[in-house]
Structure 1
Amino acid sequence: MYDFVVVGAGPAGSRFARRAAEEGYDVLAFEQGEVGEPLACSGHVSTDIWGFTGENARDELLQNEIVGARFHVGGPGSDAHRFYKREVVSNVIDREGLDRHLAGLARDAGADVREHHTVTAVDQRHDRVAVTVRGPDGTETFEAKMIAGCDGPRSRVRTELDLAEPGELLHGVLGFDSDADATDYVDVHLSAPRFFAWRIPRGDAGVEYGLAAPPGDDVGGRFDDLIDGYGVDLHRRCSGAIPIGPPESVTSHRGFLLGDAAAQTKPFTGGGILYGMTSADHAVREIDPDSPASLAAYERAWRDDLSQEIRLGHWLRRAYSLPEPVQRAGLSALSGEIGVHMDRPSSLFSREHLRKVFS
């Protein structure tokens, strides 16, 4: 019997599998397809990402360095309000490569990571979980003391464990232009209902364009308008769901959720790579697979760390729906040098940021 079965080998799942294996646990992880595919997530992350990777990862994965953002109330060509730091504030990375890198670290630590395996059922019992999986050699059932659901916004594990859905699922669309662009600003357009659109230069890898909004708000049409406004031809498109708002509980008797499955994401950007891996570290520290009661400690730990940031992120997101004159006035008043951390909305109230705003 395994200590943990991990479903999903994205950043949160691979991080948990690696750290649990390093602690001496017997870990089996399943990925439905190939690790890193299909792409459905932006590659714009804070520089904290390198604290979760292995040696030389930066040389392998870094595509561009970003120092600031231009905020637009309208679409391409509209007036921009610049926010910046004097040093690098974020990185653009090979997003698919990140998944492969993290899964490789999990394997190196001793976790058994299997691709092309789809979980079809989870039977949660008093002393174990039985996980039914369809793989290249047919259907098998594996037993473990606990199961980690790291299988994305439409998590099968979450459904099987009868846990609540995220508060909201946004519809996100990504597109990629192959023309190189090594400039150091991203563009953010507050033109999508209740969310935003973006343009991210990826160095020699080209440019990423994206837009997210609640389903039913013509996300595809609005994305086409964004691309037409920039006058580019895309060589690749993809889409996916973005979970916003964690449910009241992400644990059951012998199961727990991580990453997008738990909606451990930033409400104001939809990003969840760092939050998911941070929560994975909490899970490894707190969960004892022989003690279901330890799941409560994980629930407390990740919420103590991230709930304030998520709550403040919801407040920031409300600004996306303010009347345009109010948005313009606010952006004009606050633009300039900043001292915030892109993963921590609480840094808006930091001494560093307030000093820069009022200097």
Structure 2
Amino acid sequence: MYDFAVVGVGPAGARFARRAAEAGYDVVAFERGTVGTPLACSGHVSTDIWGYVPDDAKSELLQNRVYGARFHVGGPDSAAHPFYKREEVSNVIDRVELDRTLADCAREAGADVWEQHTVVDVDERAEDVALTVSNEDGTEAVRAKMVAGCDGPTSRVRKQCGLPEPGEILHGVLAFDPAPDDGDFVDVHLTAPRFFAWRIPRGDAGVEYGLGAPPGTSVNELFDRLTAAYDVDTEHFCSGAIPIGPPERVHSRRAFLIGDAAAQTKPFTGGGILYGMTAADCAVDAVDPDDPGSLRDYESAWRAELSREIALGRWIRRAYSLPEPVQQLGLRALSGEIGVHMDRPTSFFSREHLAKLVGR
């Protein structure tokens, strides 16, 4: 019997598997397809990402360096309000290779990582968890003391263990223009209902165009308008769910959720790579597979680490729905050089950022 079974080998699942294996636990991790595919989210991340991968991985993963963002209330021809730093704000990375790199780190730490294995049933019992796993040869039973649900926005672990759903699920789409672009700025368009659209230069990998919006919105039609406004033909279209708003509880007796399954994401961008891996580290430090009560410690730990950032992120997101004149006024007032960290909204109140505001 394993100490931990991990369902889903995205960044959160791979990080937890790696750290738990390094801590001496017996870990098995299941990925229903091939790690990293299909691509369903952006690869625009803060520079903190390099603390989670081997030093020699950066040269393979890095596609472009970003120094700021231009915000638009309308389309590409509308007034741009730039927010920037003199040093890198963020990086654009190969998102598929990131997942594969993190999975390799888990394997090297001693975790069993099984691709093409789908967990089809999760049965929480008094002393363990029984998983039914499907692969090309049929099904097999796997037992573990605890199960980590890292299986994304529509988590099977969450559903079968009776855990509550995220506050909302947005619909995100993205596609790529292959023309190289190593521009210093991403473009953000506050044109999608209650969310936004984006353009991200990815160096030699081309340009990423994307959009997120609530269910029921004609996301594909809005995306077509975006790419038409930029006069580009895109390829490799893909879509996925974006969970926003963690539920009041992300653990049961022997199961716990990490990453998108727990909606540990930034409400104002939908990004969850760094938040998910932060929560994975909290889980490894807090959870004892022989003590179900330790799951409460995980619940407290990840919320202490992320809840203030998520709460402030909700307020930022509300600005996306303000009347256009108010948005224009706010963007004009706040644009310019910043001292804000893209994953930590609370850094808006840092000495560095306040000094930038006062110095304008």
Q: Distance in 1 between matches of 2:235 and 2:70?
A: 25
Report the alpha carbon displacement of residue 57 of structure 1 after superposing the two structures with TM. Answer: 1.3
Unmatched 5+ residue regions in structure 2? none
* Aligned residue number for residue 27 of structure 1: 27
Paired residue secondary structure (1:174): strand
Report the alpha carbon displacement of residue 113 of structure 1 after superposing the two structures with TM. Answer: 0.3
Paired residue secondary structure (1:56): helix
Matches within 5 A, 1:1-359: 1-359=1-359
* 2:334 maps to amino acid: L
Q: Distance in 1 between matches of 2:333 and 2:55?
A: 42
Encode CA deviations 1:10-69: one digit per residue, 9 max, x unaligned: 000000000000011000000010000010110000000001111211111000000000
* 1:12 maps to amino acid: A
* 1:303 maps to amino acid: R
* 2:85 maps to amino acid: K
Q: Distance in 2 between matches of 1:342 and 1:235?
A: 28
Q: Distance in 2 between matches of 1:301 and 1:145?
A: 21
Report the alpha carbon displacement of residue 87 of structure 1 after superposing the two structures with TM. Answer: 0.4
Q: Distance in 1 between matches of 2:85 and 2:332?
A: 17
Report the alpha carbon displacement of residue 77 of structure 1 after superposing the two structures with TM. Answer: 1.2
Paired residue secondary structure (2:163): coil
Q: Distance in 2 between matches of 1:301 and 1:235?
A: 41
Paired residue secondary structure (2:228): helix
Aligned length: 359
TM-score (normalised: structure 1): 1.00
Paired residue secondary structure (1:143): strand
Encode CA deviations 1:231-274: one digit per residue, 9 max, x unaligned: 11112100000000000000000010000000000000000000
Paired residue secondary structure (1:292): coil
* 2:98 maps to amino acid: L
* 1:278 maps to amino acid: T
Paired residue secondary structure (1:270): coil
Q: Distance in 2 between matches of 1:14 and 1:44?
A: 19
Q: Distance in 2 between matches of 1:149 and 1:75?
A: 39
Paired residue secondary structure (1:172): strand
* 1:275 maps to amino acid: Y
RMSD: 0.5
Q: Distance in 2 between matches of 1:76 and 1:261?
A: 34
Greater CA drift, 185-194 or 132-141: 132-141
Report the alpha carbon displacement of residue 179 of structure 1 after superposing the two structures with TM. Answer: 0.3
Q: Distance in 1 between matches of 2:358 and 2:337?
A: 10
Unmatched 5+ residue regions in structure 1? none
Encode CA deviations 1:152-202: one digit per residue, 9 max, x unaligned: 000001001100000000000001110000011000000000000000000
* 1:103 maps to amino acid: A
Q: Distance in 2 between matches of 1:235 and 1:193?
A: 24
Paired residue secondary structure (2:45): strand
Q: Distance in 2 between matches of 1:155 and 1:326?
A: 38
* 1:269 maps to amino acid: T
* 2:227 maps to amino acid: I
Q: Distance in 2 between matches of 1:264 and 1:57?
A: 25
Q: Distance in 1 between matches of 2:107 and 2:351?
A: 42
Q: Distance in 1 between matches of 2:60 and 2:131?
A: 35
Encode CA deviations 1:294-335: one digit per residue, 9 max, x unaligned: 000000000001000000000000000000000001100111
TM-score (normalised: structure 2): 0.99
Q: Distance in 2 between matches of 1:85 and 1:2?
A: 47
Q: Distance in 2 between matches of 1:150 and 1:235?
A: 29
Q: Distance in 2 between matches of 1:235 and 1:195?
A: 23
Q: Distance in 2 between matches of 1:189 and 1:126?
A: 50
**Misfit runs of 4+, over 3 Å:** none
Report the alpha carbon displacement of residue 287 of structure 1 after superposing the two structures with TM. Answer: 0.3
